[in-house]
Each structure stands twice: as structure tokens, then as C-alpha cells.
Structure 1
Amino acid sequence: MVDPSEPVVLADPDVIAGLDYWRTLPIKQQPSWPNPDAVGAASAKIASLPPLVFAGEVDVLRERLARAAQGDAFLLQGGDCAETFAGATAQNIRDRVKTILQMAVVLTYGASKPIVKMGRMAGQFAKPRSSDTETRGDVTLPAYRGDIVNGFDFTPESREADPARLIEGYHTAASTLNLVRAFTQGGFADLRQVHSWNKGFAQNPANHAYEKVAGEIDRAIKFMEAAGADFDELKRVEFYSSHEGLLMDYERPMTRIDSRTGTPYNTSAHFLWIGERTRELDGAHVDYFSRVRNPIGVKLGPSTSADDMERLIDKLDPNREPGRLTFITRMGAGKVRDALPPLLEAIKSMDATPLWVSDPMHGNGLTTPNGYKTRRFDDVVDEVKGFFAAHSAAGTYPGGIHIELTGDDVTECLGGSEQIDEATLATRYESLCDPRLNHMQSLELAFLVAEELTAF
């Protein structure tokens, strides 16, 4: 909260005008709203509602990410591919937070450094699509763009973009954040409790390879207890929200001016990223996000050139501020070892310190003969290993991982210690967009990443 005794700094009119300059630029991945007046009314309503996050929280996160960019911390970012309104239940939110906390304990031990914990939560309701339409048989309808735009059911009524969903998205995000804060500040995140969950995972015969590390963590925690560590402080964790900043009819009205500094902040999340499909330098998304104070991520695919990267830095991080800019690489297991090293070499001459994060999910998609979109766990692991190997060779720091995951025992990604195969996918495939790692696969990945981190 702002101290009422502090003077209020009014925003520069040019700053306000600049926040809407994106409207004059080419823009992609926006829905075709049938009623522009209704969209305007919904955006105006959102603009009148309280912020979901505060500028001070955003500033703290930027400091945490700066530490990670400089090799003194590590980012764990995880959550649903696409959140749904129906899925924002207490149990689902709890299980997702629980999985991220479990992974963070393992990574903390492997890195011997603080883990910045961030959910793809409380706003990941909009999704970019490869086509504006979807055809089934003789019927063509608008593509499903996430619950904040339209419905998943393949009917004309469901697939019509509905501005009322913008307001429902705000309220769903608010209730999700409220519960996340309760879980992470009210004792649920106690380090001892979280570690006890991991011991059960490691004692499963399928995960016997990780039992040694779990035992070492157990001894470390017992040592801290015996030494009189203050566990009141270890019962709470910082947990940040993030989503792809895609839908401008939601992101722009969530932009507020900080009364302390007169600076714009996007208050829909602590951290937002620009996707591979919307990172055009002359496009609306890059221009808008260059003007807000939040830390910003950019997805980089295998075709990214060093020149592309430098121009993004110049636009989004002109002051070369550690913690401001995160590059989230999504190369694919078969390309990361060739595509990433030239970027890491080039960054050394650019006087910039971006945070480098691996997204090993989006470059490794495939479709099975029976029609399921999936990913192989082995490919996910291989891309992570290629990411670490590239940084090791370049002398740069691998600063985080960005994972699509769920706390549920779904069957959406092939492989892992459970040996999910193509026949098993049908038993519990629940994602409306991309396949996610389930609870067990997420923890297995955390143990494997912890092994890689011991070298840095």
C-alpha cells in the first residue's frame, strides 16, 4: 500500500498518450469481437476495478530476477497451458502451487541458491492460435482463444467472442491470487511439510534414482532444525503471478500509474511475456510492453537471429537493467544445441544482462496417430540438457525453466517414470490446448534439473 503521507506524483500526459500508441500499429492474435461497444464497456469496467498486483511487489520481483540473471538465483515458472474458469477451484489451485513448491525445494538444494517461484496462474486465460478458425467436418467456426474470449464447445454460440468474459477473467484471476497468497503465506508452504511430500515421491520404486538426493535434502533440513533455524521465516514463500500478455482489451485497462513515481505498471500480473507469434519489433505488443515497468519476457524460437535479439533489447531494455528482460528460449530438443549458442555468444558484446530461461515444452510438440497433441518427456529433458550445455560452453548462466504443468495425475505427455504410452493418453487427457507434465513428471524433471544445476 502507498503511504498516504507520501506526495502523489502525477503522470506525464505524454506517458499516458504513449500507452495507447500500440493502437496505431499492426497487431496479431486478437479476437474478432462482434460488438465493439460492448468490448469498450467491458474494458472500462476493468479499468475501474482494483489492481490485482501492486507496484511494490513488481519492483521486488524485478530485483529477484536481476539476481537470477547475474547467476545468484534461479527462476521456476510453471502452470497451466491455458487456465479455465471452471478449473479455478481450490483443489486445482492448491495442487498446482504444491507441485511448484515441491519442485522448488529440490531445485534449491541442487542450485544452492534461492529459487524464484512464479506461476503461470491468475491470468493465463488467452491463447494464441495458428489459425483464426477451426473446421470439423463441414463446419468451420472461430478458433478457441481461451476462456477469456470464447468457449471450447464446438458450437456457434460458444465460439463467438464474448466481452463479458473479460470481466469474468478479472474476477477469476482475483480469486485465484487470493487463494495463492493464502497458501503461500499461511503455513501450507512450510519447508518441512513440502519436503515430506517429496520423500513420498522418491520412495516410489519407479523413482528410486532420486531417493539419494531426497535423503540428502532431509539431512540438510534436520541439520537446520538442530541448529535452531528460525522456521517461522521458512513457513512463508514469495510467489509471483505471470501470463502471456496477449489480449490487449484486458492488458491495457489493467495498466495503472504508480502514485509514487508516475510510472505505468501492468497490474494484471507481476511478470508478463510476449509470445513468439507477437514479438514483431514494429508490432503493438512490443511497443506497449516497452512502456510499462514490469519485468518482461520474450519467447525466442530457433529462427531468432542475434540481430533480432539486439533490437528487442534496444526496444524493451534500453537502459540495460538486470531483471527487466527475460529471454525464454523454445528451440526444440533437436535444435537447441545449434540455435542457442550463437545467441549466447552474441549477447556478450551487447552490454546487456537478460535472464535466460528454458521453455522445453513448446518446441517439442507432436500429434499421435490417434489424434492427441502430446510431448515426449525425454524430449523435454533433452532440451533442458541442451540449454544447460550451451550455457556451460558459453560461460553464461542458465537462469530458469518455464514449464507447462499441472498438479493432477493427467496423461498428456509421453514417457517419464510412469512410462505413459500412446494408448495411455486417452485415459486422462484433460488439457484444452497443449499437453502438460503431470505431477510425477514435474517432480522427476525437477530432480534432473537439480543435477544440472550442481555444475553452476
Structure 2
Amino acid sequence: MQEVANKNWNPTSWKQKPVKQLPEYPDQQKLEEAFETLKGLPPLVTSWEIDALKNKLADVAAGKSFLLQGGDCAESFDATKAPKIVNMVKVLLQTSFILIHEMGVPVVRVGRIAGQYAKPRSSDFETVNGKEIHNYRGDLINGYESESGVRTPDPERLLEGYHKAGLTLNFLRALADEGFADLHHPEQWELDFMQNNEYYAEYEDMVKSITKAVRFVESIAPDTFSTLQKVDFYTSHEALNLYYDSAQTRPVPRKPGHFNLSAHMVWLGNRTRELDGAHVEYFRGINNPVGIKVGPPFNIDETLKLIETLNPNHEAGKIVLITRFGKNVIEDDLPELIRAVRREGFPVVWSSDPMHGNTFNTDGGIKTRNFDDILSEVRSAFAIHRAEGSYLGGVHLELTGDNVTECVGGANGLDEKGLNRNYETFCDPRLNYEQSLEMAFLVAREWKKSYL
């Protein structure tokens, strides 16, 4: 499938290139031992699942479906617990159900889950209490606490990340196979918060419509309704720590090329997409669908070369372009990018990440995002794609099913004073359960303006 790309490629050829966002491990021998151990462990996902996702993303690129990619900014090993996983599945399923009902097209669910353990940083070190220590780069690399030396990069965390991802995936599959019956009964959803929203009447009508439809199906086909509870759920993470991802990259029987079997989809970050860099070298050889984050600063010609490098055969469903400009920049940058990609004939999935370009610090130094800013970028993205005759086929959201207080705004009007009530994230602020459902409803409204 990618014979030309794979001629001079192997899962570790990235080591011959400049690598960014990967700290120096003090014990290289220990790192190699962990890497070799990880190489010998069973895969977390299968090539069949990866190919199935790619086929569904091809439908998204063709305007037949919609991609919902969402989850934690950075997963924590300590949060590998049933209630946390259940809440994440719950919010992703409910938001997707809102989109399906309102838009009338299939929704492809891809979680930032079971592997999103690493985060990029602008510098390797920070100063805490007058002492210079390693920056926290996610549980896959080091610990969050600033004491006891846990900030030192530890190769053993590669293995712990694999095992935590495996536990999460096992539970995810069980939940997805059996389903949550209550998720198909919207009258049981926690929707009181929407009473404060200007669209509450429409939201209430939607819930009644879903409830009526589900009860009708149950009444005429009670035995087959269980099949509606089964859902397809895919995993993704930023392939930042190349030791982790390349160790799980391998050929499979009766298929050409190599698959990263640690996740169904991986993405290339805004800080690691240099054409001559280690991450692009790694990404060009895998058969998985890959995301490319695109935002300031970026160059259109380099972006086109990157797409060509990662998908020389112009395979549909292979590339997801995840734009992250910020509400004040998107109208200047996105239109020309759309035109350039169209001129080249690249069959990409266009997805909007309205989170990362709209982060700010409060006067008290708390990192947050404003719900209205996030929505503003979503609206602009739809309007621009509509004007350019392009299909915006997805959204990429950092969210949680927990009742955190990390992003201000939304129907309940969380303000900056309320951020400290339940601020949990170690990295970037996430939409909470209520804000996620509200955002799904408003995303669907914008989609309908553009494509119905």
C-alpha cells in the first residue's frame, strides 16, 4: 500500500532524525530494556479494527458521516478506574447520540483514551521553589508531583502505560459490546442545566423525539433492540513518545506494511510536524489513519508536503486535518488552506479543534477556556467551509464525563471564581459533562445550517 514510503523505513528509522518533545532518559540501558519488553507484548488493537476505522473515515471525507473525537487532555495512570472510564464513555456516547439525532448521519466515535498519556511542553525544565526540575510531560514519561524525584523520565512508565491502556481497552470493549441501556433513554439524562439555555425548547423537543423513537423500536422489536446498544468505539492518542509507539508497530499476517497496534488512530502534534523530523519519519511508515494538527505558526506549502509525505497514494480515510487556529485567527488562515488542499486533490477529513487556540490564564493564574470562544471557532469553521464549498466532517474536543470546573461559560454560567471548585486537570482545561452535551447540540445546529 505504501511501497515507496516503506522502502527505506522501519519502525525505528526515526532514531536517525532530529527528535523533539522527547526528554533525555538518564538510563539508556533501562530504556532499551523497557523498549524490547514492550515490543514482545501482545497488541492492544487489531489491524482489522484499524482498517474498519479508515473505511469509516473515508465516508467522513466524502461527506457521508461525521467524526467526533474527544476525551482527556492527558490521561492519568491513577484515573484508570471504572467510574472515570464509565463517565468518559457515557459523555462520548451521549454527545454522539445528540449529533446522530440532529444531523441524521452516522457518527464515528474516536476517544482520546487508552494511550493519551504524554503531552508536549514548550521547555524541558521549570523552576519550583527555586529548584530546576523536569517539566511534567504526562504519566507515560514522568510523574506530576514536584518532589521525590518523580519528574525524572522513567522508562518503566512505558510498560505501565501499556498495561493501563490494556485495562482501559478491556473495559471499553465490554461497555461498548453490552451497551448502556440508559444511554438510549434520554429522559434519564441529566439535562436540567439546559433550562438556562436559549435553545432549551429545541433541546427538550429533541429529547422527546429520541425517547419516542427508542420506545417505538423497543415495542416492535424487543429482541433486536439489543443490537442497537452495541457501538463502535475507537481509540486515539498523540504519538509523542516514539519509543512507546514504535515498540507496538509491527507487520501483520497477510497484509502489507506496518500497523501501530497501540491505538486505532494516532495524531501528529503542532510541535512535531517538521518534514525532516523524527515524528514525520515515524508517521510516514504506518498504515493507521493519522491526524495532523494544523495551527499557528504554520506554512501552507509545508503542510501540503506533509500530507503528500504521509499519504503519497492519496488514500481516502488516511489523513484527518485537525485545524486549531483560535477564534481570532481562523478567518485569516483557514480559507486559503482549504483552497490549497483542494487544488492538490487530497482526500482529507476536515476536523475542527476549537480548544487549543482559545486557552488563556485568569488573573489568578488558572489556565482555562471560555465556552463562547470555543463555540465561536466552531461557528467560524463551519461558515468558512460552507463558503468554500468544503465539508467540515468532525470536531476534536477535550472533554470529560466528570463534573469538573475547568472551562468557564456554558448554560450554567460557570465564572472564573468557580474554577477552583473542582479543577482536576494536570494539563489543559476540559469541557465538563454539561458543557459537552450543550456543545454537541450547538455543533449539530451549525452542521445543519451548512449541510441540510
- TM-score of the superposed pair, with normalisation by structure 1: 0.93
Question: Which of 200, 204, 208 in structure 2 is aligned with 1:215?
Answer: 208
Question: Which of 220, 229, 236 in structure 2 is aligned with 1:242?
Answer: 236
1:278 aligns with 2:275: no
- The corresponding residue for 1:290 is 284
Q: Shift of the alpha carbon at 1:176?
A: 0.2
Tell me whether 345-354 or 317-326 shows the greater mean CA deviation: 345-354
Structure 1 residues 17 and 390, CA gap change in structure 2 (3 angstroms): closer
Tell me whether 181-190 or 20-29 shows the greater mean CA deviation: 181-190
Q: Shift of the alpha carbon at 1:269?
A: 0.2
- Paired residues of 1:203 and 1:211 also in contact (CA < 8 A): no
- Paired residues of 1:76 and 1:115 also in contact (CA < 8 A): yes
Letter in 2 for 1:363: G
Structure 1 residues 396 and 158, CA gap change in structure 2 (3 angstroms): same
Q: Shift of the alpha carbon at 1:242?
A: 0.2
Equivalent residue runs for 1:22-421 within 5 Å: 22-155=14-147, 157-188=149-180, 192-193=184-185, 195-198=186-189, 200-201=190-191, 204-207=194-197, 208-209=200-201, 210-225=203-218, 228=221, 230-421=224-415
Q: Shift of the alpha carbon at 1:224?
A: 3.9
How big is each residue's C-alpha offset from its partner over 1:345-389, in whole Å with a ceiling of 9 and x where there is no partner? Answer: 122211111000111110000001111100001001111111111
Q: Shift of the alpha carbon at 1:331?
A: 0.5
Letter in 2 for 1:127: K
- Paired residues of 2:94 and 2:183 also in contact (CA < 8 A): no
Letter in 2 for 1:413: C
> Aligned Cα RMSD in Å?
1.8
Q: Sequence identity, in percent?
A: 45
How big is each residue's C-alpha offset from its partner over 1:237-278, in whole Å with a ceiling of 9 and x where there is no partner? Answer: 000000000001111101011111242000010000000000
- Paired residues of 2:134 and 2:152 also in contact (CA < 8 A): yes
Cα distance between partner residues in 2 of 1:170 and 1:137: 33
Q: Shift of the alpha carbon at 1:215?
A: 2.4
Q: Shift of the alpha carbon at 1:421?
A: 0.8
- Paired residues of 2:88 and 2:401 also in contact (CA < 8 A): yes
- Paired residues of 2:179 and 2:231 also in contact (CA < 8 A): no
Unaligned runs of 5+ in 1: 1-10
- The corresponding residue for 1:20 is 12
Structure 1 residues 228 and 189, CA gap change in structure 2 (3 angstroms): closer
1:422 aligns with 2:416: yes
Cα distance between partner residues in 1 of 2:193 and 2:153: 48
Cα distance between partner residues in 2 of 1:221 and 1:341: 41
Structure 1 residues 440 and 190, CA gap change in structure 2 (3 angstroms): closer
Cα distance between partner residues in 2 of 1:339 and 1:262: 38
Q: Shift of the alpha carbon at 1:211?
A: 1.5
